[in-house]
Amino acid sequence: MRDYVVDNIETRTREELFINMHPIQAAGRLTPEAMKALIAYGDGYSTCDWCRKPFRLDKIPRPPIDEFHAELAKFLGMDQARVVPGARRGFQAVASSIIEKGDSVVLSSLAHYTEFLAVEDANGVVKEIPLNEKNVITADATAQKIEDVKKESGKLPKLIMMDHIDYSFGNEHDVYGIAKIAKEYDIPFLYNGAYTIGVMPVDGRKIGADFLVGSGHKSFASPAPSGIVATKDEWAGKIFRTTQMVGDLTKRRFGIKEVEMLGCTLMGSNLIGMMASFPRIKERIKNWDEEVKKSNYFLGGFLKIEGNKVLSELPRKHTLTKVDTRGSFDKIARTHKRRGFFFSDELKDRGIVGEFPGATRIWKLNTYGLIWDQIRYLVNAFKEIAEKYGLDVSD
C-alpha cells in the first residue's frame, strides 16, 4: 500500500526507509535545518516580509539574506555571490554576458549538458578539450585546444568552462593548471563546482577562477532549484550589470535590478534552505577526506567481486563513481527472468536504492554522506548478492 500526499502524488520515503546511493541525490539531501526552513518559509514570498528599499533579494536584512550573500562570497574566496535557480542559470548568466554570436567557448569533453545549452542560448559554439588516457583534462590539453581554436577561427575563445569533478566519471580535472593557462591567454575562466561546492573546500582565489558556479540541490543540501554564481569585483559589473532600460513613455527605470539575474532570483524556502544548511556545510567540507576514504573503502569491497570494475580514476578523489558490472551482475541478468531488475530487487530487499533500476552494465553511484556502518553494510550487501548468484568473492 502506498500513501499519498494528494491524489496521485505518492509520499516519498526513499531517504527514510533506504540507504540511497543515487549518483546525484547524495549531497543535495536536505539537512534537518533546511527541512525546518522549508516548513517555516514554504510560502514563496516568505522572504519578502522585510524587503525594503532598494528592493532586491540580496539586500534583505531579515532573515539575514544580505549577510548570507557576503559570507557566501567569502566562503568561496570570491568578491560577490548571487543565488540562482540552479547551476545552469549561473552558466547562462556568464555565457549571456560574455559570448556574442559565433564566439567559441572551450570546455571539457565531459562538460555537463547545461554548459552546452548555456553556450547555445548565447549563440556561441562549444569546443571540447580532449581527455587523456585516464579520462582527465589537463592544462596542456587545454592550451592545445586554445591554440587549435585560434588557428581555426582566427580568434581566441571567449570563455573557458571547466568541471572540477565531472558528472560522468567523477574524475578530478586540473582546474588549477587550466586557470593558469586561462590567465596566460587572458581568457576568463568559469569553474563548475556542481560536484564540489558544498562538499569540499573550494577557494576561487586559490584556483584562479573568474567565475564559480555551484549547485544547491546537487552539493549544498538545498531544495531545488538552487545554485550559486560568484565572481570577482572586476567581473561583477558585467555579470551582475544593472538594467539600463528606460521606458520610452513613462521614463521608468529599475536601476538596481540586475539583468542576468532577472531581478530577484531565489525567493522562499529554496534560499532559506541554503542559508539554514550553510553552517553545517561549513563543517562538512572539513570532513571531505573522510568521505573520500569511505568511497575508496566501499570500492575496495566492490572490487573483491569477480568481474567488477571501476571506470573512474583510482584511488577515488570523489564519492561519485562509475562502475562496470558487465563481467559480474550483468552475466546473471542475461539469463534471469527479471533481467537487470533482479539486481535492483536484491538491493531493495536489503534496503538499498539509488542504482539505476535494471542497469547491470555501466552505472554510477555516490556514497556521499553515508556513515561507516552504512558503508560496511553496503559492501556486505554487494558481496552477499554476488555469492547468492555464484560469483566469486575474494577475501
Angle between helices 139-153 and 175-185 (to 10 degrees): 30
Stretch that binds a second copy, among 186-194, 259-267, 308-316, 338-346 (CB under 8 A): 259-267
* Strand runs labelled E in 200-300: 211-215, 227-231
Q: Kindly calculate the radius of gyration of the chain based on its CA atoms and give it in whole angstroms.
A: 23
Task: Say which amino acid occupies 281.
Answer: I
Which of 21, 41, 94, 346 binds a second copy (CB under 8 A)? It is 41
Distance CA 260, CA 213 (A): 14
Beta-sheet strands, E only, within 200-340: 211-215, 227-231, 309-310, 320-324
Q: Rule CB under 8 A: say whether 102 interacts with a second copy.
A: no
Of these, 54, 154, 247, 390, which contacts a second copy (CB under 8 A)?
247
196 counts as binding a second copy under rule CB under 8 A: no
**CA nearest to 308, candidates 344, 332, 339:** 332
| In the complex, minimum distance from the CB of residue 205 to a second copy, in angstroms, rounded to a whole number | 26
- The strands making up 320-324's β-sheet, listed across from edge to edge, are 309-310, 320-324, 362-366
Q: Least distance to a second copy from the beta carbon of 330, Å?
A: 19
In the bound state with a second copy, the residue whose beta carbon lies nearer, of 13 and 380, is 13
DSSP 155: S
User: Could you give the CA distance from residue 55 to residue 257 in angstroms, rounded to a whole number?
Assistant: 9
What are residue 323's DSSP bridge partners? 310, 363
Beta carbons of 103 and 120 less than 8 angstroms apart: no
Q: Closest separation between CB of residue 213 and a second copy, Å?
A: 13
CB of 316 to a second copy, least distance (A): 21
Segment contacting a second copy by CB under 8 A, of 252-260, 294-302, 311-319, 376-384: 252-260
Beta carbon of residue 142, minimum distance to a second copy (angstroms, whole number): 13
**Which three cell numbers, joined as nine digits, stand for 327?**
563481467
Smallest distance from a second copy to CB 16, Å = 10
Q: Which amino acid is at 369?
A: G
Q: Does 141 bind a second copy (CB under 8 A)?
A: no
Q: Tell the smallest beta-carbon distance from residue 9 to a second copy (Å).
A: 5
What is the three-state SS of 207-261? HCCCEEEEEHHHHCCCCCCCEEEEECHHHHHHHCCECCCCCCCCCCCCCCCECCC
Cβ 311 to a second copy shortest distance, Å: 16
Q: Does residue 257 bind a second copy (CB under 8 A)?
A: yes
Q: Does 10 bind a second copy (CB under 8 A)?
A: yes
Helix or strand (DSSP H, E) at 352: strand 352-353
In this structure, are strands 104-108 and 159-163 parallel, antiparallel, or unpaired? parallel
| 179 touches 185 (CB < 8 A) | no
Work out whether 21 is an interface residue with a second copy (CB under 8 A): no
Determine which residue in the list 21, 29, 235, 291 makes contact with a second copy, applying CB under 8 A: 29
Minimum gap (Å) between residue 307 Cβ and a second copy? 26
Stretch in the footprint of a second copy (CB under 8 A) among 180-188, 219-227, 327-335, 361-369: 219-227
Nearer to a second copy, 128 or 324 (CB): 128
119 binds a second copy (CB under 8 A): yes
Binding-site member from 82, 158, 173, 217 for a second copy (CB under 8 A): 217
Pick out residues in 52-71 that bind a second copy (CB under 8 A). Answer: 62-64, 67
Does the protein bind a second copy through residue 113 (CB under 8 A)?
yes
